[in-house]
Amino acid sequence: MQSPQGDEIKEVPATSAALTPLMAAGWHQVPAPVKPTTTPKEAK
Amino acid sequence: MANINELMDGWSYGQQTNITTPAAQTAIWRLTNLNTKPWAKVPVNEDDRAEIGKGHEFPTQLFKSHYNMPTYEISKYCSSEFLAFVMAFSLGNVTAVAGTGATPPTTYTIVPAMGATNPTGLELPYFSFVQQMRPGASAILDEILIGCAIKNWKLAIKNSPGRASATLVAECVTTGQYLTPSGITLPTGAQQLHEFNAGMVTALTINGINYLAGGSGKNFVSLDASWENNFRPGFFPGSGEQDGFQIQGRFEWGDRSFAVQFVVRVQAGSAEYGNLVNQVIGPATITFTRDANNVFTMDIQSMGFNVVELSNTDGIATMQVTGVQLYDPTNGLVTMSITTPQAGICAPPA
């Protein structure tokens, strides 16, 4: 979810109870940020 | 000549990129409609009858004016898909979360967007509407109306059998922009939806009164809820044209309203009148559950009663209650939660 000012993104539990107060305050859904991937270490 | 039964309706469950760009075919449903009329297009001409200098009072010329598009009702029995569509496009702030499993449903949480924080200001998402009769080389009707929005809706729940016990009517507006032929190939058959009836109400509590269990169980008769976006006219410099006629270029909500009325049977100690006199307020929840993948909940965050009026419904003494829905500073006005197999409702184009 992204804040109405666009300066904050946070992951929120996908429940109506958690989403409602944020959405009522103007937060809206945005695609989840891409998490950095870790390269698996080569087998020795 | 064509029978009206040949009319095929389709509309996009995905939102348009903007008001002037039609939705992609991949995000368009073909669905049935209880409204048997096509959506009329009404271009309006004006004349010069009011202008002097002609030597008489009669008109001598016609001028293209604007597309005066009438509103159009999409009228359907309640289903998880249609409820999600109507609530998403009429209220505006939507989150969609995919479930898990082999055929995961999507759960939509929807609240009214607020002008101060809505990314598109006072504008709601737009969808496209397709209507066709014998599409192809000799089409009687084949067009896509671009830039449609939901002006209002009416949800009715009644104590009658069958699908008619739960209906939802969305009144829509459109700009006047269209394409013909539409370029859309609708599916061979109308999509089957997951419909509700009033027997599937699994939660019904209003202002502290549970109408499914306890002393007030079996007392509920009917409920009517409605939403009105009260759009402002969308003509402005640069709003656009179609065939030389001016079209609307935006639909901005005005003063919106949310109304709820319901009817219950009177009994000794009915709490509704006391709630009105004592100005008791509380949440109201109504839930339809067809199965785990098809659920609709309307959570009114805070509700009081404006009017409680004794009446007669089919020979039974009843009370008609008019609610007043109060805006809660934390949770807002109302939250719609819909779980449905249809993904991508109100989603922007990929």
DSSP state of B196: -
pLDDT of residue B350: 83
Q: Is B42 helix (H, G, I), strand (E, B) or coil?
A: coil
Cα separation, B204 vs B221, whole angstroms: 12
Cα separation, B141 vs B138, whole angstroms: 9
- Chain A: which residues have CB within 8 Å of chain B? 1, 4, 14, 16, 19-21, 23-29
Task: List beta partners, residue B324.
Answer: B304
**Mutation for A interface: B91, B97, B109, B298, most A CBs within 10 A:** B109
**How many Cβ pairs closer than 8 A exist between chain A and B?**
51
Which chain B residue shows the shortest CA-CA distance from A16? B109
Residue B299 to residue A20, Cβ atoms within 8 A? yes
Residues of A in contact with B114 (CB under 8 A): 24, 26
Q: Measured between CA atoms, how close is A40 to chain B, in angstroms?
A: 28
Residue B114 to residue A26, Cβ atoms within 8 A? yes
Domain ranges of chain B: 8-42+66-340
pLDDT of residue A40: 61
Residue B216 banded pLDDT, cuts 50, 70, 90: confident
Using CB atoms, which residue from A4, A23, A25 is nearest to B109? A23
pLDDT of residue A42: 54
Over residues B338-348, the pLDDT tens digits come to: 999 999 999 99
**CA-CA-CA-CA torsion sign (B144, B148, B152, B158):** positive
Residue A26 to residue B118, Cβ atoms within 8 A? yes
Q: Name the nearest CA neighbour of B175 among B11, B41, B347.
A: B41
Burial B101-120 (b: 16+ CB within 10 A, else e): eeeebbbbbbbbbbeebbee
Q: Is the pLDDT of residue B38 over 80?
A: yes
Residue A23 to residue B332, Cβ atoms within 8 A? yes
Cα separation, B124 vs B45, whole angstroms: 30
In one-letter notation, the amino acid at residue B128 is S
Q: Is the pLDDT of residue B196 over 70?
A: yes
Q: What is the ipTM of this complex?
A: 0.88
Q: Name the nearest CA neighbour of B337 among B289, B302, B304, B303.
A: B289
Residue B331 to residue A1, Cβ atoms within 8 A? no
Averaged pLDDT, B321-333 = 97
Residues of B in contact with A29 (CB under 8 A): 94-96
Specify whether the CB–CB gap between B111 and B90 falls below 8 A: no
What Cα–Cα distance (Å) separates residue B125 from each residue in B26, B81, B97, B116, B197? 17, 17, 19, 16, 28
Q: Measured between CA atoms, how close is A42 to chain B, in angstroms?
A: 33
A10's CB contacts (< 8 A; 6+ apart) are A1
Q: Is B300 helix (H, G, I), strand (E, B) or coil?
A: strand
Over residues B251-284, the pLDDT tens digits come to: 999 999 999 999 999 988 888 888 888 999 999 9
Q: Name the nearest CA neighbour of B215 among B271, B160, B262.
A: B271
Residue B96 to residue A26, Cβ atoms within 8 A? no
Cα separation, B127 vs B174, whole angstroms: 9
Q: Is the pLDDT of residue B159 over 80?
A: yes
What Cα–Cα distance (Å) separates residue B241 from each residue in B65, B183, B236? 10, 20, 11
pLDDT of residue A44: 47
Averaged pLDDT, B205-226 = 93
Kind and range of the H or E element at B276? helix B271-277
Please tell me the pTM assigned to this model. Answer: 0.94
Task: List beta partners, residue B72.
Answer: B172
Specify whether the CB–CB gap between B126 and B147 falls below 8 A: yes
Specify whether the CB–CB gap between B32 and B76 falls below 8 A: yes
Q: Is the pLDDT of residue B316 over 60?
A: yes
B127 vs B102, higher pLDDT:
B127
DSSP state of B6: G
Over residues B119-158, the pLDDT tens digits come to: 999 999 999 999 999 999 899 999 999 999 999 999 999 9
Task: List beta partners, residue B311.
Answer: B318
Specify whether the CB–CB gap between B159 and B28 falls below 8 A: no
Using CB atoms, which residue from A4, A16, A25 is nearest to B109? A16
Q: Name the nearest CA neighbour of B251 among B279, B228, B280.
A: B228
Compute CA B80 distance to the chain's CA centroid, rounded to the nearest angstrom.
Answer: 13
Using CB atoms, which residue from A20, A28, A29 is nearest to B331? A20
DSSP state of B52: S
Q: What is the mean pLDDT of chain B?
A: 96
Over residues A1-44, the pLDDT tens digits come to: 999 999 999 999 999 999 999 999 999 999 877 766 666 665 44
Using CB atoms, which residue from B94, B299, B333 is nearest to A16? B299
For chain B, give the percent of residues with pLDDT over 70: 100
Residues of B in contact with A31 (CB under 8 A): none
